[in-house]
Amino acid sequence: MTDLSDRIVRYGELQPCKTAFIDAHTPGSDQKENFTIIGGGVSESPDQHVHIGIPHGFNIGAAGQPPKCRNSLHSHRTAEVFFVLSGRWRFFWGRYGTAGEITLEEGDIFNIPTGIFRGFENIGTDYGMIMAVLGGDDAGGGVIWAPQVIEDAADHGLVLAETGKLYDTKKGETLPEGVHPMTKLTEDEANALPEPSTMQVIGGYVRRYWDMVALADKTPCKVIGANGIIRDKPGFEVDFITRASASDAMHAHDKPSVLMPVKGHWKVTWDGGETVLAPGDTMSVPENLNHAAVPSMTGEAALYHVIGTSDAAGATWTG
């Protein structure tokens, strides 16, 4: 029997970190909760709990926020893919977050291009959650913040060291001797980052839940991949599976994969065991392990399946 209990993280057992990033004290961003589910993630806080530390070639995380709470403008060197688990979210991008924006709802997915400043805000009426896939085991080495975010954080007591660790001056913390603050991008560097139009971003990198349901009517929809409806090679692929395209045929992958339900309950069977996953649960499947996933109850059912590839994590693919 293969025991996978240590590779399943239940939504109700997620452990949040409220001091994960440099804007943790900045008004409007100080109610954020960050979750590191698989891999080390990009948290800047030693308080961050890692649920599954096994390297997958990518990271799985989540952000939970109450209404009107936002995540400040930042950039990544590798992929940052979000799908909405619950709530209504506004994503925005550009040097000052004014180049474009889009509102996403449950099940929608967004592969945000690398190298642009981006942020997001819960514009719903209740606490909401977005799930994230980050490229690479080290997720690109961390977060690149817009200069104004670092300046605002300093005004509220938080300093990010060049080591990527946060120090809270309001608690009397100081940078160790010989350690300097993280270098900010210059104005010229920050202003040089691309500001794609809303049409470019929506057309190339956003897919809506109900469109994917239609596309997954017979076989799983390849959402992200070299031949996906979002064409990219970020070191992983993302499939979207519904009741209509689910199969009980046992299969295996030569790299780790992750099952993430967004609607309904899913029975996962593998050589030596079985379990049922609900929306918000995350399950890591080891490489070369035969498994299958099908809905366990009647009603709407949809699942995101993330599979590692041999592609190197890096900038958004434009081939």
Same domain as 253, residue 146: no
Tokens 């995350």 found at:
282
pTM (predicted TM-score):
0.96
Give the domain-ending residue among 163, 186, 206: 206
Is residue 302 in a domain? Answer: yes
Is residue 167 in a domain? Answer: yes
User: How many structural domains does the chain have?
Assistant: 2
pLDDT of residue 142: 84
Same domain as 267, residue 119: no
Same domain as 106, residue 45: yes
Tokens 């959650």 found at:
129
pLDDT of residue 151: 94
User: Residue 160's domain spans which residues?
Assistant: 5-206
pLDDT of residue 1: 60
Is residue 157 in a domain? Answer: yes
pLDDT of residue 272: 86
Is residue 148 in a domain? Answer: yes
Structure tokens at 288: 């070369």
Same domain as 192, residue 239: no
Same domain as 9, residue 52: yes
Give the residue from 44, 57, 51, 189 showing the smallest Cα distance to 134.
57
Give the domain-ending residue among 171, 186, 206: 206
52-81 tens-digit pLDDT:
999 999 999 999 999 999 999 999 999 999
Is residue 318 in a domain? Answer: no
Same domain as 112, residue 22: yes
Q: How many CB atoms lie within 10 A of CB 172?
A: 7
| H-only helix segments in 117-176 | 147-155
Give the residue ranges of the chain where pLDDT is below 70.
Answer: 1
Here the CATH number for the domain that contains residue 155 is: 2.60.120.10
Same domain as 96, residue 20: yes
Give the domain-ending residue among 206, 233, 260: 206
Answer yes or no: are the C-beta atoms of 121 and 90 closer than 8 Å: yes
Is residue 319 in a domain? Answer: no
Same domain as 67, residue 128: yes
Same domain as 273, residue 188: no
The SS3 assignment for 151 reads helix
